[in-house]
Amino acid sequence: MGVWWKCPKLNTRIFFWALRGAGHNFAIVAAFEYKVYDITEDNQAWGYEQFYFEEAKLEEVLRIANGMVGGIDNPGPVELIVFGLVGKGIPDAYSSQFRALKPFDTVSGRTDLAGVSAMIGFDIGAPPCAKSGPTLQRVPLALETYPIAGMHAAVDVLKSLPTEFNRTLVILEGYSVNAVQSLSGESTAYADRPSNLLISPFITHAPAMRNWLSVAPCTAMRCADSWSRLYGYQQWRVDKLQKLKRRWDPNGQFGWYLPIDLDCGRWQNEKDDVSPSVDFTNCAFLEAPRVQLIPSC
């Protein structure tokens, strides 16, 4: 983050609380600094191991996976399951549990970081990243554990899709979250620190099928629910963000992308320290703390 406004009416502590999680509602980041880690002989190689299972093994696969992210006891889903581990070195304690389930095929090896992207199907020419070809709609969900019963339901949906959607799939992703979860959930506006996983249905179809959207019935989602999915379900967080938006940007000048909706949901703090909107006319530029984007693993 390069420079920021210093104004008498601007509480910088609260301002930076809002920037970290909802910043596009309050400011524009014109520049930032980040740290790049060089590839060396010691860190250039990545190991990977992929396991292919039939649908009958799904529950066992997810039970093992959930044991790695906290565990879950719920029972519960595809014709083919591909589960993979990627890292600098894959501990046998992880991979041996999946091998014990007797997958019908395994693929393992070593590659560089670019090869990892190609191996998991997310290189520049792969369907999820390609700029031409089938239309792709992605609807990600952030969760704490793999929902086994929910995955069974997802498989049933995949089986019921017409052939026009036969390239649709569900991606289950788990990344390092130690740095994200090391901070208190109340310390910033970001509301999704507890989540360990990202589950993304990739709905893939021919571009011409988008024409169906113009004639298909539209189901409206409740405003409060859809807004909370982005900014959090904790009412105190919703109230605080709406109060700050009313104070600093009542006219919605920072409203280009998924803005905080002042008319959506309950705003409890109308009488709590609601000062007039900040006048930036006489504000000065100051150097702000430099933000480094450092991998959490």
pTM value surpassing 0.95? no
CATH class of 46-214: alpha beta
Q: Tell me the C-alpha to C-alpha distance, in Å, between residue 276 and each of 81, 230, 246, 250.
A: 56, 26, 9, 9
Cβ count within 10 A of residue 5? 15
SS (H, E, C) 3-26: EEEECCCCCHHHHHHHHHHHHHHC
Quote the pLDDT of residue 245: 92
Quote the pLDDT of residue 232: 84
DSSP string covering 169-187, please? EEEEEE---HHHHTS-TTS
Integer-rounded Cα radius of gyration of the chain: 23
Residue ranges of domains in the chain:
3-35+225-287, 46-214
Q: Per-residue confidence of the chain (297 residues) as pLDDT tens digits?
A: 444 555 555 667 888 899 888 989 988 877 778 888 888 887 788 888 888 888 888 888 888 888 777 433 333 333 334 555 555 556 576 788 888 888 888 888 888 888 888 887 777 877 667 666 666 667 778 888 888 888 888 888 888 888 777 777 788 887 778 888 888 889 999 888 888 888 888 777 666 555 554 444 444 444 455 667 778 888 899 889 999 999 888 888 888 888 888 765 443 344 334 343 444 344 333 333 333 333 332
